[in-house]
Structures are given as structure tokens and as C-alpha cells.
């Protein structure tokens, strides 16, 4: 097929160059946004009398038909037409004749693709944000359902202090809330219209950029045409935000994987979200969580690819920029799939509250509270720490827990210990005492859960 840019060429494009240069195999997905942008552009061209109004009408009607065809999968994209833009423009001219040849007046594929990508990105941000809300809801519901459940909180993966499971889950809600915020902040930077920058320097036609921006729901217009056609910062930010989401999902997945081991036995993930082994009949593997953890690597890779793509690009548009699409599409698809799957997996998780509580009996989780007890009775904290450290050593050597110790033994370490000491040892008491803002006491966690739920509605 004749190239839309073929005028100055005598020779044919090499077949390998067509293979290298085509982007329609991956940018065809931009068609709905490309068409929407072209419709707004054509309407403006007609309104400004840059092209006959009747031609603008034909263009708009033709584009709408093509849009439906594409949606119905009844449109054939041709790689010899390079990209989504030229596929649609060629199809338009084929259908409506000469009027179609007027569509590209005062426009370049450079500002066209920049506009398509920003509209696409905006919609992906909305989709990711809504998935982030669903996920936070699933986590909050799980926190609410298991509100009484206590498990060992860890540092260094070593038992540290007991915490509410709800507190633990709400930690993830905070992470995904920040992710939601980050995408919201990015959306403002994305929603700036580059169309009207043309190839790089603006155009001689009396275009009305404001009209086009209003039709396309852009908040504002790009102010420098050279920056507008070559800027891909927002795609890097998108991948960076997606990378953080994936990292958070991966941390959660890692915990689920650990928690569903025989060693922990804290949770059982539902059958629909686990898989079996082809050889070992007993297996029920947390593959979903593992795949989510594994997919982080691709999204980090996508971010790195974009950062590397952009470094060293001189002003303005360079064909390298065509390579922005596959990474950002991959990052977007991956993060959306993983968010959806994790949100759907959460309600299937069965919590083994007994195993969690039992685990709080190992590892002297009461140690800080014993030290605080002595400190409350006047002993300097550093000294209390030393005394309780000695108690831990004693218990370790004699295979005892603090709860096994008699009052006399307590008092052999410090006379400040009184008969009320046993009362401070239960995990529920320890949790209740951590009533500082942001702490794990049921009162604080209940308030945090309420706040999170309010934010989600
Ligand atoms: N397919 C191209 C891209 O994605 C569209 C812009 C092409 N512009 C050009 N001057 N060759 O970047």
C-alpha cells in the first residue's frame, strides 16, 4: 500500500525496515483514543473554516464508523501502514474519499501520538485507582472480620510484640492509599493537551486549541510545543507508580506465601487462588501470590526501559519514542491484573486465629512490657531492659516462658515485681496498652479502620 509519507521517495522500504518500524501490532490498542482525538481535531478544523465544514462532518461520521468496526473486531490493521494513526487515516480516506485527506491539516503524528498517550494514560490511571480502592476495601473487610485476632508482630522476621491482625492489614491499606494518591497527583500532570504543537514548532493554521482541549476533557494546554511532542515524563511516572504498587503487592504476597507454609499455618488461601502439583498429590501451592511477586520484575524492567529510552534524546521527537509503548502497556496491564487478582483472592483467605495466637507464646513477646512495668515503678529503662534480658536468658536456658515463672522467680530478678505481674502478660493486654496514635490497641485500630472506610467511600 502507498505510504502516506511516500511523496519524496523513489525506492521501496526494505521489508526488514517495515518489520522494525511498524508499531501497529502493539499501538492498535490506542485506536479509541486516536479516533476521539481526530474527531475533536476535525470538528475544530471545520469550525475554524480551515477545512470545509461539510468535510469535517464526513470525517467525523467516517471515524465513528471505523471506531465501531474496530470495537467489533471487524477492522483489519495492516503492518505496512506502520502505525495506528496511518491505519485509521488510510481507512478513512478509503471510505469517504478526498475529505479524509484533509484530516491531518495542522497536525503531526508527533502531537497526535502524544495526545493519544495522554488520553490513554489518564484512563489507565482511573482504572488503576478504582482497582486500588477495591483492594483497600478487601483488606479493610478482612481486618474488620478478624478484628479480635492477634498475631506476633515481627521485626527482622523475629517475633517482636503482639499486634492485631487488623493493624497488620491496615498497614497495607496505607500503602495502597499512598499509591492511589500518587496516581491522583500524576493525573493532573498527564491531563495537559499537546495537540496543536504539530511536528515540533506549532502550526501556521488558525487552530483553536482550547476548543479541542475542552472536547477531549483536558484541563490545560501544553505551553511549549517542543517539550509537548518529546515529553514522556508522565509515562515514566506512571511506570514508577505502578512499580510501587507492584512492590506493595509483592510484600503482601510474600507474607501470604510464608503464612500458608506448614511452619506458620496462619492462613489457607481458597482453592480458586491456589494450584496443585503434577507429581505431589498433597500440594496446594500459593502460585497466585508467587506470580504476583514474580511479576514485579517486569514492571521494574518497564520503568528501567523507559528511563533508559529517554536518556540522551535530543530535542524533539525522535523515533526512539515509539519504543515507549510496549513497556508502559505491559506495566499497565500487569499492575491492573495483579491488583484485580489479589483483591479477589483476599476474601477467600481463611485465617487460623488459634495458630496466630499460639505463635504469640513463642519468643518472649511480653519482654518490652515487663521492662515497661519495672520502669513504671521507677527503674530507669536501660536497667529494666537489662533485668528483663537476664530473665529471657534464664527462661531460654530452662525452656520456660514468662507465664511459667512464679512470683518468687520474678522477684528474684527484681523486688519491684508484684503479684499484678501476671495480669500484664496476656497478648490481648499487651495490645490494648499500645494506645498511642497509630498504635495497635483495638481502640486505635477501630478508629483507623473507620477512617480508612470513610476514605474509601
Ligand atoms: N508510531 C509513532 C510513535 O509511536 C507515531 C509518531 C511517528 N512520528 C514520526 N515522525 N515518525 O511514536
> 232 in helix, strand or coil?
coil
Q: Indicate whether residue 230 lines ligand 1 (CB < 6 A).
A: no
For ligand 1, mutation pick of 5, 20, 83, 230 (most atoms within 8 Å of CB): 83
Residues carrying an active site annotation: 156, 277
d(CA 348, CA 286): 12
CA distance 343 to 142: 11
- Domain spanning 360-448: CATH 1.10.357.10: no
**Nearest CA residue ID for atom 2, ligand 1:** 322
Residue 24: CB within 6 Å of ligand 1? Answer: no
Ligand 1 atom closest to the CA of 317, numbered from 1: 10
Q: How far is the CA of 24 from the centre of ligand 1 (A)?
A: 11
The whole-angstrom separation of Cα 262 and Cα 158 is 17
Whether ligand 1 lies within 6 angstroms of the CB of 113 is answered as yes
Do residues 29 and 329 touch, judged by C-beta distance below 8 A? yes
Per-residue pLDDT of the chain (457 residues; tens, 9 = 90+): 778 888 889 999 999 999 999 999 999 999 999 999 999 999 999 999 999 999 999 999 999 999 999 999 999 999 999 999 999 999 999 999 999 999 999 999 999 999 999 999 999 999 999 999 999 999 999 999 999 999 999 999 999 999 999 999 999 999 999 999 999 999 999 999 999 999 999 999 999 999 999 999 999 999 999 999 999 999 999 999 999 999 999 999 999 999 999 999 999 999 999 999 899 899 889 999 999 999 999 999 999 999 999 999 999 999 999 999 999 999 999 999 999 999 999 999 999 999 999 999 999 999 999 999 999 999 999 999 999 999 999 999 999 999 999 999 999 999 999 999 999 999 999 999 999 999 999 999 999 999 999 999 9
The CATH architecture assigned to 6-105 reads: Orthogonal Bundle (1.10)
The residue ranges of every structural domain in the chain are 6-105, 110-204+219-358, 360-448
CA dihedral 317, 321, 322, 325 (to 10 degrees): -140
Residue 74 is predicted with a pLDDT of 98
The C-alpha cell 496498652 sits at 433
CA of 126 to the centre of ligand 1 (A): 26
User: pLDDT at position 288, please?
Assistant: 96
Task: Report residue 246 as a C-alpha cell.
Answer: 507492584
In whole angstroms, what is the distance from residue 197 CA to residue 106 CA?
A: 9
- Atom in ligand 1 nearest the alpha carbon of residue 23: 1
Would you say the CB of residue 110 lies under 6 angstroms from ligand 1? yes
Alpha carbons 281 and 94: distance in angstroms, whole number = 60
Output the CA 208–ligand 1 centroid distance in Å: 23
Residue nearest to atom 3 of ligand 1 (CA): 322
Q: Is the dihedral of CA 428, 430, 435, 440 positive or negative?
A: negative
The pLDDT assigned to 1 comes to 76
Ligand 1 centroid from CA 303, angstroms: 21
User: How far is ligand 1, taken at its centre, from the CA of residue 318, in Å?
Assistant: 8
Distance CA(293)–CA(143), nearest Å, equals 22
Asked if residue 229 lies in contact with residue 193, where contact means CB atoms within 8 angstroms, the answer is no
370 lines ligand 1 (CB under 6 A): no
Closest ligand 1 atom to the C-alpha of 84? 1
Interior/surface letters 300-336, b for 16+ CB within 10 angstroms, e for the rest: bebbebbeebbeeeeebbbeebbbbbebbbbbbebbb
The pLDDT of residue 75:
98
Which of 312, 442, 439, 424 minimizes the C-alpha distance to 368?
424
| Helix (H) / strand (E) containing 405 | none
pLDDT at 3: 83
266 lines ligand 1 (CB under 6 A): no
**Closest to 75 in 3D by CA, of 137, 29, 22:** 29
β 158-164/150-155 pair status: antiparallel
pLDDT of residue 283: 87
> What would the grid cell of residue 27 be?
499501538
Cα(89) to ligand 1 centroid in Å equals 14
Q: Which residues contact 115 (CB under 8 A, 6 or more apart)?
A: 33, 37, 193, 194, 195, 216
Give the pLDDT of residue 232.
Answer: 98
DSSP characters for 283-338?
Answer: --B-HHHHHHHHHHHHHHHHHHHHHHHHTTPPSS--GGGGGGHHHHHHHHHHHHHH
Q: At what angle do helices 165-190 and 233-259 cross, to 10 degrees?
A: 170
Residue ID of nearest Cα to ligand 1 atom 4: 322
Specify the pLDDT at position 195.
98
Q: Is the CB of 317 under 6 A from ligand 1?
A: yes
Question: What is the SS3 assignment for 439?
Answer: coil
Q: Is 109 in the pocket of ligand 1 (CB under 6 A)?
A: yes
3-state SS, residue 135 = helix
**Cα 83 to ligand 1 centre (Å):** 8
**Ligand 1 neighbourhood includes 319 CB (under 6 angstroms):** yes
Please tell me the distance from the alpha carbon of residue 22 to that of residue 79, in angstroms, as a whole number.
Answer: 6
Is ligand 1 within 6 A of the CB of residue 22? no
CA distances from 86 to 79, 140, 229, 328 (A): 10, 48, 18, 22
For the chain, how far is it from start to end, CA to CA, in angstroms?
53
Angle, helix 31-47 to helix 84-96, in steps of 10 degrees: 50
pLDDT computed for residue 6 by the predictor: 85
Residue with CA at minimum distance from ligand 1 atom 7:
109
Q: How far apart, in whole angstroms, are the C-alpha atoms of residue 131 and residue 440?
A: 27
CATH 3.40.1160.10 given to domain 110-204+219-358: no
Amino acid at each position: 500500500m502507498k505510504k502516506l509519507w511516500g511523496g519524496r521517495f523513489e525506492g521501496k522500504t526494505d521489508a526488514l525496515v517495515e518489520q522494525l518500524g511498524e508499531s501497529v501490532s502493539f499501538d492498535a490498542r490506542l485506536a479509541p483514543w486516536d479516533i476521539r482525538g481526530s474527531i475533536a481535531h476535525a470538528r475544530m478544523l471545520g469550525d475554524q473554516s480551515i477545512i470545509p465544514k461539510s468535510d469535517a462532518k464526513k470525517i467525523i461520521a467516517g471515524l465513528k464508523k471505523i471506531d465501531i468496526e474496530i470495537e467489533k473486531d471487524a477492522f483489519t490493521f495492516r503492518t505496512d501502514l506502520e502505525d495506528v494513526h496511518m491505519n485509521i487515516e488510510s481507512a478513512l480516506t478509503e471510505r469517504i474519499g478526498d475529505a479524509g485527506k484533509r484530516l491531518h491539516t495542522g497536525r503531526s503524528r508527533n502531537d497526535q501520538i502524544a495526545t493519544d498517550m495522554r488520553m490513554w494514560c489518564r484512563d489507565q490511571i482511573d482504572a488503576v485507582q478504582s482497582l486500588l480502592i477495591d483492594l483497600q476495601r478487601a483488606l479493610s473487610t478482612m481486618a474488620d472480620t478478624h478484628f479480635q485476632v492477634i498475631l506476633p508482630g515481627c521485626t527482622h522476621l523475629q517475633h517482636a510484640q503482639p499486634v492485631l491482625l487488623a493493624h497488620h492489614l491496615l498497614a497495607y491499606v496505607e500503602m495502597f492509599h499512598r499509591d492511589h494518591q500518587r496516581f491522583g497527583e500524576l493525573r493532573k500532570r498527564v491531563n495537559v493537551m499537546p495537540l496543536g504543537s504539530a511536528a515540533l514548532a506549532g502550526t501556521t493554521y488558525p487552530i483553536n486549541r482550547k476548543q479541542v482541549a475542552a472536547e477531549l476533557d483536558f484541563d490545560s494546554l501544553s505551553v511549549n510545543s517542543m517539550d509537548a511532542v518529546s515529553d514522556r515524563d508522565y509515562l515514566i511516572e506512571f511506570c514508577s507508580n505502578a512499580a510501587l504498587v507492584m512492590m506493595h503487592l509483592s510484600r503482601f504476597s510474600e507474607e501470604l506465601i510464608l503464612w500458608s507454609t506448614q511452619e506458620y499455618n496462619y492462613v489457607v488461601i481458597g482453592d480458586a487462588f491456589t494450584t496443585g502439583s503434577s507429581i505431589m498429590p498433597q500440594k496446594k501451592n500459593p502460585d497466585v501470590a508467587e506470580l504476583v511477586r514474580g511479576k514485579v520484575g517486569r514492571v521494574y524492567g518497564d520503568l528501567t526501559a523507559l528511563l533508559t529510552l529517554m536518556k540522551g534524546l535530543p530535542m524533539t521527537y525522535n523515533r526512539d519514542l515509539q519504543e515507549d509503548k510496549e513497556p508502559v502497556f505491559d506495566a499497565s496491564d500487569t499492575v491492573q491484573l495483579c491488583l484485580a487478582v489479589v483483591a479477589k483472592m483476599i476474601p477467600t483467605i481463611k485465617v487460623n486465629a488459634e495458630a496466630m495466637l499460639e505463635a504469640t507464646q513463642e519468643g518472649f513477646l511480653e519482654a518490652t512490657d515487663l521492662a515497661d512495668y519495672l520502669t513504671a515503678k521507677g527503674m530507669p529503662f536501660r536497667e529494666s531492659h537489662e533485668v528483663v534480658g537476664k530473665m529471657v536468658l534464664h527462661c531460654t536456658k530452662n525452656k520456660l516462658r514468662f507465664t511459667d515463672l512464679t512470683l518468687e522467680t520474678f522477684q528474684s530478678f527484681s523486688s519491684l515485681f508484684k503479684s499484678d505481674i501476671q495480669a500484664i502478660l496476656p497478648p490481648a493486654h499487651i495490645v490494648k496498652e499500645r494506645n498511642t496514635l497509630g498504635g495497635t490497641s483495638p481502640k486505635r485500630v477501630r478508629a483507623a479502620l473507620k477512617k480508612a472506610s470513610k476514605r474509601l467511600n
